[in-house]
Structure 1
Amino acid sequence: MPAIEQPKFAELIRQTRARLELSQFEFVSLFQSVNRWEKGRTKLLSLALKQIEVLVHPMDDHAKDLLEKYFQGQGVKNCEP
């Protein structure tokens, strides 16, 4: 699975959490490292990224831009500039 550039996955985490209308505290119950991810301090593991993709898919039109920007098919889109 291609790696997402650090600032790009921080943006993905923030946007996904906001669209799910979850606080960092609520999101952390799903993912222990949300604060470090959003600040770009820690890399996202591929398993966590897959779980985020699973959360984003049911949002349909509300998250269509996130799916197009970060995910394609079964893997993560390479977000290198």
Structure 2
Amino acid sequence: MGQIIRDLRLAFGLTQEQFAATLGVTYTTINRWENGRSTPSPLAMEKIEGMLEKIGDKGKDLLAKYLRN
């Protein structure tokens, strides 16, 4: 899960702080997700999937790779 969070954040060109603000969580939360120390809540996952869909083919590729295997 951490890798998809990082890949999505980088696809949007956001820092961990900026990505956290976009999702309505703290920087520490993003850092924990990316480092595998915790996982996103169901609500956060909905927001993440929505962001993946917004970036078109790259997002679809990430969804297929990480979430819909």
TM-score by length of 2: 0.81
Bigger fraction of residues in helix: 2
Q: How many residues align?
A: 65
Matching of residues 1-81 of structure 1 within 5 Å: 9-29=1-21, 30=23, 31-32=25-26, 33-71=29-67, 77=68
Gaps of 5+ in 2: none
Gaps of 5+ in 1: 1-8, 72-76
Bigger fraction of residues in strand: 1
**Residues in 2 aligned to 1:36 and 1:48: alpha-carbon distance in whole angstroms:** 14
CA deviations 1:3-32 (Å, max 9, x no partner) are xxxxxx001100000001100110111232
TM-score by length of 1: 0.71
Let me know the Cα RMSD of the aligned residues: 1.5
**Residues in 1 aligned to 2:49 and 2:58: alpha-carbon distance in whole angstroms:** 14
**Who wins on radius of gyration, i.e. which is larger?**
1
1:67 shift after superposition: 1.8
